[in-house]
Structures are given as C-alpha cells and as structure tokens.
Amino acid sequence: MQLTGNTVFITGGTSGIGRGLAEAFYRLGNKVIVAGWRKALLDVIAAENPGIDGVELDITDHEDIARVAARLTQSHPSLNVLINNAGIMPFDDPSGAVDDAVSRRIIDTNLLGPIRLTSALLGHLKKQPRATIIHNTSVLAYVPIATNAVYSATKAALHSYALSRRFMLRDTRVAVQEIAPPWVDTDLIRKSGDPRAMPLDVFIERTMAGLATDAREVFVDEIKALRDNPGSGEHALVDAFNLDLVANPIPV
C-alpha cells in the first residue's frame, strides 16, 4: 500500500499495536482517526498527537458500528484505509466448561466486529481512487495457544475471511492486507518485558515496512516457521508449541 496521503481509521487505536500503528501513520503525515471504547484514552492520544481524532466505538454492537460508519463517511469523505485492529484475549480452558458470555464477547470483538465494520464502510471504500483494508490477525491464527482457544479460533477465522474478502475484491480498487503479529510486548494480556516478546517499536517498524509493499500478508521472520505450518505434521507442531508454553508460561 501507499503509506502517505491517506485518511486512516483504526479500531483499538488507544494502546498497544493499535496506537503504535496510529502514531506511525500520523508521523508520515496521514490523517488518522482512532476508535476505542474508553474516552479517557482517546483524549490522551489526541492530546499527545495533535490532529489525531478520536471516536468512541463499541465494536461488539452492530448498531454502534453503523452509527460510527455513517459519521465517518460524512466527516472524513477521503477515508481510504481501514485497520481492523481491536481485539481482546481472555484466557479460557477448552478442557472444561466454557463461559458463554466471555466467548461471545471474544467472537463479537475479534471476528464479527471487523466483518461488520468493513461491511459498513465497504461501499465508501470502493468509491476511493485507492483503498486498503488491513486485518490484524495473529501468529495464533496458524498455531493456536490452548490457554486462549477461543481467541486463537477467532484469529484463524478472520484470516480465512480475509482470504475470501481479498479474492472477492480482486477487480476493485480496494486491496486487502493482513498483519499477523507474534507475541508483542503490549498490554493485550500484560506488558511484562519478557524477552520472548518482541518490543512494540521493533514490531511497528517492521510491519510498516511490510505494509509499504504489495504483500498480502505481513509477518516478521521470527514466526515464518509457524506460518509455514507443516500440513499433516500440524498436530505435532501444535502440541510442541503448547508444551513449551506449559513449561515456560506467559506471565499474567
């Protein structure tokens, strides 16, 4: 994608990867609008980055999505980049009873939210001279972590949906890119400084470089072996991945 001359709307843009991407696009001179559900954090990022606009959005509410989409297309008619970044990562245990309310919240936020928001803005994006939809999935879309099974499943589903959306938009001016972060040291679970986690600034720098290309998927070299999930050897790979995390758990 072209990294300059855009009007960018990014969900979950008040912290972590979302904020990192928002500020990276802002520094390149793009118009940036960030969405989040905590007004106090929206006010902070706007104050620290004069010119970034904040929009309150409940990504789990399809009516609120429709409201925000209508407002955006009116107030920012040049909007041409949508970054579906908002996500939550509660722990769950698929070996026991599943909390239906928590599972529904994960699905509504991580999967249905991006689907609904993109649908609401797609007609507008198709009218732009050039437009890009970016889906933020995860390395866990390829290799699930068993302690966050529903989260991993939503990221796998969003990856699949991005493949279909990209194909269906192949003859339009709307490109679809996917970023698949590794473990990045953010507050998605808890910012810990764990050496296994990639520093946020390093991840953002590499990801912006990848987005500047025509790559359909942007991921760092550190997860390439997991992205190249070895087909019929998948079960052994997933077991080994999770056994390592059992032996060396993520601090929470």
pLDDT in tens, 71-125: 999 999 999 999 999 999 999 999 999 999 999 999 999 999 999 999 999 999 9
Length of the chain: 252
Contact 24, 196 (CB under 8 A): no
Domain boundaries in the chain?
7-247
For 30, the token pair is: 């793009």
> Quick one: pLDDT at residue 249?
86
Angle at 144 between CA 137 and CA 201, to 5 degrees: 45
Radius of gyration for the chain, computed over Cα atoms and rounded to the nearest angstrom:
18
CA-CA-CA-CA torsion sign (77, 33, 128, 120): negative
Tens digit of each residue's pLDDT (9 = 90 or more) over 48-71? 999 999 999 999 999 999 999 999
In whole angstroms, give the CA distance from residue 3 to residue 140: 27
Q: Name the residue with higher pLDDT: 38 or 126.
A: 126
Contact 64, 57 (CB under 8 A): yes
Tens digit of each residue's pLDDT (9 = 90 or more) over 157-174? 999 999 999 999 999 999
For 202, the token pair is: 């390093």
> Quick one: pLDDT at residue 26?
98
Asked: is 7-247 a CATH 3.40.50.720 domain? The reply is yes
Which residues are designated catalytic? Answer: 151
> Quick one: pLDDT at residue 189?
66
Query: What ranges in 11-141 are assigned the alpha helix state H?
Result: 16-27, 39-48, 62-75, 100-107, 113-126
For 68, the token pair is: 């925000």
> Quick one: pLDDT at residue 187?
80
Tens digit of each residue's pLDDT (9 = 90 or more) over 140-151? 999 999 999 999
Q: Please give the mean pLDDT across all residues of the chain.
A: 95
> Which residues make beta-bridge pairs with 213?
none
- Percentage of residues in the chain having pLDDT higher than 70: 98
> Quick one: pLDDT at residue 198?
94
Tens digit of each residue's pLDDT (9 = 90 or more) over 192-225? 778 889 999 999 999 999 999 999 999 999 999 9
**Would you say residue 12 has pLDDT above 80?**
yes
- What is the pTM (predicted TM-score) of this model? 0.94
Tens digit of each residue's pLDDT (9 = 90 or more) over 29-53? 999 999 999 999 999 999 999 999 9
